Structures are given as structure tokens and as C-alpha cells.
Amino acid sequence: MTQKEFIKGLFVKKSNDTFINIGVKKQEFLNHIETLKTDEKGFINLTMATQKNDPSKYSVWVNDWKPGKKEAPKQEVNENDLPF
């Protein structure tokens, strides 16, 4: 597993059961976002989860997961296994 790259200048905190507040330090956030690479569609994907030490606060990090292309294993056909 790769090291999480947390987003600089973005602060998220739950205010109650309905609302989540997001604060952005504009210049710090923009400078950091400019350094990140986009995917083939032009997106920077982020993941947000509650912090372990304070569940009212959230951490946001870059989600760079991409599905791996796995080839299906080649199966040998045994004539005795065929239903006809």
C-alpha cells in the first residue's frame, strides 16, 4: 500500500448529524492541487474519512487507485469434461 498524500489547505469537520463544514485555505490548497496529476479524464480523485483520534474531524487524501488489468487464467479443456 502506498503512502497517503493528504490534501494541504483543506479542513473538514462535522458540525452536527446533518452538516459537514469544509474550510479551504485558498492559496495553500490551490498550490497543492497544482502539483497533483490528473487521471485520463482530468480528475483528481479524493477520499475522505473520519480521523481515528477525533471522529468529528475528517482527513482528505488523494485516491490514486486504478483497477489492474488481469488476464483471465487460461483453462485447459479436457474432452472428458465436455457435456456433449
- How do residues 31-82 score in pLDDT, each as one tens digit? 999 999 999 899 999 999 999 999 899 999 999 888 776 666 666 666 666 6
Query: Residue 30: is its pLDDT beyond 90?
Result: yes
Query: Residue 11: is its pLDDT beyond 80?
Result: yes
10 CB neighbour count, 10 Å cutoff: 20
Residue 39: name the closest of 3, 61, 64, 60 by CA: 64
pLDDT at position 17, please? 83
Residue 15: name the closest of 26, 23, 7 by CA: 23
- Spatial strand order of the sheet with 10-14 comes to 20-24, 10-14, 57-62, 46-50
> Against a cut of 0.85, is the pTM above it?
no
